[in-house]
Chains A and B, each alone.
Chain A
């Protein structure tokens, strides 16, 4: 930790904090990215030096990594201080800043962009790596998903020798990638999107599925027996010894119970008693604006962030059955310029509700909903959307920059 830092690394850390503070003070953001960039220019090994001597967990996957990182942080805080990149800056600059800001934290829970997993394995020598799921996401700017799984598999084989992997037994791409590792703890975290794993990532043959079980008809790749799972009945996680840990989450949906199961599995590897950790997860009310509840003119909005087909389908699973739904779609650089993926989302479950669409690409959504036979109205922005629905609860689903625009309207609610 920081006591052992070289003078150069200490200097880099000071500059990093100054740059981040300046960025915040001038309203440019939370400063994680610029701070980390400055620090890494002064000391290219800064991330590695700051991670040294700490117990680190990396959390990666297409969906749920910010929430799972928050849950994991809450769980491990039962036994000590945790450094974490809670603002969603999930590349090495953000990791460096998170560690620099918490020099005394013995633990670190780092959300990691899927494409930086290898770099972080090398730099942070994590004790635990949690792998959640892989599905199609922003195809115009990212890798095709099977290629990404193959890259993970190779990276894990060469760089994860000292780590224990906590991996989703329900996602064939994750299982294939993680199965090269010596120590794997399997979690039945579910798979809401199966279209990217119709065929075996290992050999290309068909996967047979029976309920939650799956296996390759050719090479034998199959679902490992999970040690951790989400309880079939009620809201609970079942641990390796069959013991039940009750959840009382504020965050909605089965997918968040699965994120909780992963967080408890990770925390127990750090020596946290799951019975002590589980109640801490229910204190999480929102995560960087996700699931936040805000009020405006008698409308109670719940904000849901969903960036890709799997995320939108998970959102539709979470929302209450009757309130109006606002959908907002952008296609700026970080969203991906290509809106084709909205045709991978089935919107028919929204039929019969009041549906309002907005965002830069609201016309794309309008065409999409018309094809699915869902009635809708189109408005210019979130203010107009609020005016278009009656007072009462409202569910808002938005992709990345659309979500940030809406958050900005509510003072960047966390």
Chain B
């Protein structure tokens, strides 16, 4: 196939702690299947290309989050990409701004309305390991990650939770993340895909238009060992 173009949105605003990792993991897993990848970093003062095959948006502080939402609303390309069924992976602050509204700098801001959800402030910061059972329709098993956020997210009718929480807080202590169509949002921050190779493959499969089972398997000894370690650490702590 031709080159897979993956856009990483606004690393100048939303790249707080290892967010580049998701782009690196996707590129690594695509190349291992012989798929060429063109990573495209798009700064917040640049136009968002609407011709890309996948879009990533990371986490960040309140100020940059509000600026990013404003610029994406003005740009419009991410909304068009969502309508066109392009895969979008949004993390933490990036996840919140895909909803109808989010809370930053002490007030509510308008979001992109790509996912039917809204976010506000929680009683305390959610910091630590997070794990859950992913929605069965996604076929990705359990999820594992690290969360660090002050927001809580309330899901509407038109989205499904990404997972049921078994450890950590996620949206509200019961569910974590959300998905609809080919758009996925999650509080698993930074390089969440490094610990969730099946989620990475699901996004790749959507991007190239195949079923995930059609992607040739690759050696996941180390990612699987890491997953086992993190689940084991949670079990030992409980």
Q: Residues of A at under 8 Å CB distance from B?
A: 136, 139-140, 144, 146-147, 195, 198-199, 204, 206, 337-344, 363-364, 366-368, 370-373
Known contacts A343-B24, A367-B223, A371-B24: A206-B12 contact under CB 8 Å: yes
Find out whether the CB atom of A139 lies under 8 angstroms from the CB atom of B148. yes
Complex contact A343–B18 (CB within 8 A)? yes
Q: 6 shortest A-B CB distances, which residue pairs?
A: A340-B190, A343-B21, A340-B18, A343-B18, A198-B12, A343-B191
Provide the B41-67 mask, 1 if CB < 8 A to any CB of A, else 0. Answer: 001110000000000000001011001
Contact B17 A367 (CB under 8 A): no
Interface centre among B19, B129, B146 (most CB of A within 10 A): B146
Contact A341 B18 (CB under 8 A): yes
Q: Which residues of A contact B225 (CB under 8 A)?
A: 363, 366
B20 interface neighbour in A204, A344, A364, Cβ under 8 Å: A344
CB pair B67–A204 under 8 Å, yes or no, is yes
Taking a contact as CB atoms under 8 Å apart, the answer to whether B24 and A206 are in contact is: no
Which residue of chain B is the closest to A201 with respect to CB atoms?
B63
Partner of A199, one of B12, B21, B195, B226: B12
Q: Give CA–CA (A339, B145) in the complex, Å.
A: 10
**How many angstroms from the CA of A351 to the CA of B85 in the assembled complex?**
38
Of all chain A residues, which has the CB nearest B26? A371
Further pairs besides A343-B194, A367-B222: 14, Cβ < 8 Å: A136-B17, A139-B148, A144-B16, A146-B61, A147-B61, A204-B67, A337-B129, A343-B18, A344-B18, A344-B20, A363-B226, A363-B229, A367-B194, A370-B28
Answer yes or no: B158 CB below 8 A from chain A CBs: no
* Assembled-state Cα–Cα distance A16/B129 (Å): 39
B122 at the interface (CB under 8 A from A): no
Residues of chain A lying within 8 A (CB to CB) of residue B138: none
Bound complex: CA A199 to CA B13 (Å): 8
Residue of A nearest to B23 (CB): A343
Q: Which of B19, B44, B67, B226 contacts A364 (CB 8 A)?
A: B226
* B residues 126-173 in Cβ contact with A at 8 Å: 127-129, 146, 148
- Whether the Cβ atoms of B64 and A337 lie closer than 8 Å is no
Q: Which residues in A have their C-beta under 8 angstroms from that of B17?
A: 136, 139, 338, 340-341, 344
Given contacts A206-B12, A364-B226, contact A343 B190 (CB under 8 A): yes
With a CB–CB cut-off of 8 A, which chain B residues contact A206? 12, 43-45
Query: Per-position contact with A for B210-238: 1 when CB-CB < 8 Å, else 0?
Result: 00000000000011011001000000000
CA distance A366 to B222 in the complex (A): 7
Name the residue of chain B whose CB is nearest to the CB of A197.
B12
B186 at the binding interface (Cβ < 8 Å): no
Q: Is B72 an interface residue when CB atoms closer than 8 A count as contact?
A: no
Instruction: Name the prevailing secondary structure of the B interface residues.
Output: mixed
Q: Is B15 an interface residue (CB 8 A)?
A: yes
Q: Is there contact, CB below 8 Å, between A371 and B25?
A: yes
Tell whether, in the assembled complex, residue B226 and residue A204 are in contact, meaning their CB atoms are under 8 Å apart. no
Q: Given A144-B61, A371-B28, A340 and B43 touching (CB < 8 A)?
A: no
Cα-based distance from A373 to B20 in the complex (angstroms): 16
Q: B189 at interface (Cβ–Cβ under 8 A)?
A: yes
Which residues in A have their C-beta under 8 angstroms from that of B25? 371
CB-CB under 8 A from B191, the residues of chain A are 340, 343
Nearest to B225 among chain A residues (CB) is: A363
Q: Pull 24 A–B residue pairs with CB atoms less than 8 Å apart, ordered by A.
A: A140-B127, A144-B16, A198-B11, A198-B13, A198-B43, A199-B12, A199-B64, A206-B43, A206-B45, A337-B129, A339-B146, A340-B21, A340-B189, A341-B17, A343-B20, A343-B194, A364-B226, A366-B222, A367-B222, A368-B194, A370-B28, A370-B222, A371-B24, A371-B28
A residues in contact with B64, CB < 8 Å:
199, 204
Least CB separation from B192: chain A residue: A340
| Nearest chain B CB to A77 CB, angstrom units | 40
Complex CA distance for A340 and B24, rounded to whole angstroms? 13
Contacts of B189 in A (CB 8 A): 340
Instruction: Tell me, in angstroms, the Cα distance from A338 to B191 when the chains sit together.
Output: 11
If the complex has contacts A337-B128, A371-B28, are A204 and B63 also in contact, measured as CB distance less than 8 A? yes
State how many angstroms separate the Cβ of B51 from the closest Cβ of chain A. 24
Enumerate chain B residues within 8 angstroms of A339, measured Cβ to Cβ: 146
Q: Which of A338, A342, A367, A373 has the most CB of B within 10 A?
A: A367
Interface positions, chain B 177-218, Cβ under 8 Å from A, are: 189-191, 194-195
* CB pair B16 A342 closer than 8 Å: no
A198 closest partner in B (C-beta): B12
Residues in B neighbouring A368, C-beta threshold 8 A: 194
The chain B residue with its CB closest to the CB of A147 is B61
Task: Tell me the nearest residue of chain A to B27, going by C-beta.
Answer: A371
Q: How far is the CA of A93 from the CA of B187 in the complex (A)?
A: 37
Partner of A363, one of B18, B19, B222: B222
Q: Which A residues are in CB contact (< 8 Å) with B127? A: 140
Q: How far is the CB of B146 from chain A (nearest CB, A)?
A: 5
List of B residues within 8 angstroms of A147 by Cβ = 61
Residue-wise interface mask of B (105-135) relative to A, using a CB-CB cutoff of 8 A (1 in contact, 0 not): 0000000000000000000000111000000
Q: Which residues of B contact A199 (CB under 8 A)?
A: 12-13, 64
Residue picked from A136, A204, A371, most chain B C-beta under 10 Å:
A371
Residue of A nearest to B28 (CB): A371
Q: Please, how many angstroms separate the alpha-carbon atoms of A363 and B228 in the complex? A: 10
- Specify the chain A residue showing the minimal Cβ separation from B19: A343
Within 8 A of A (CB), among B1-40: 11-13, 15-21, 24-25, 28
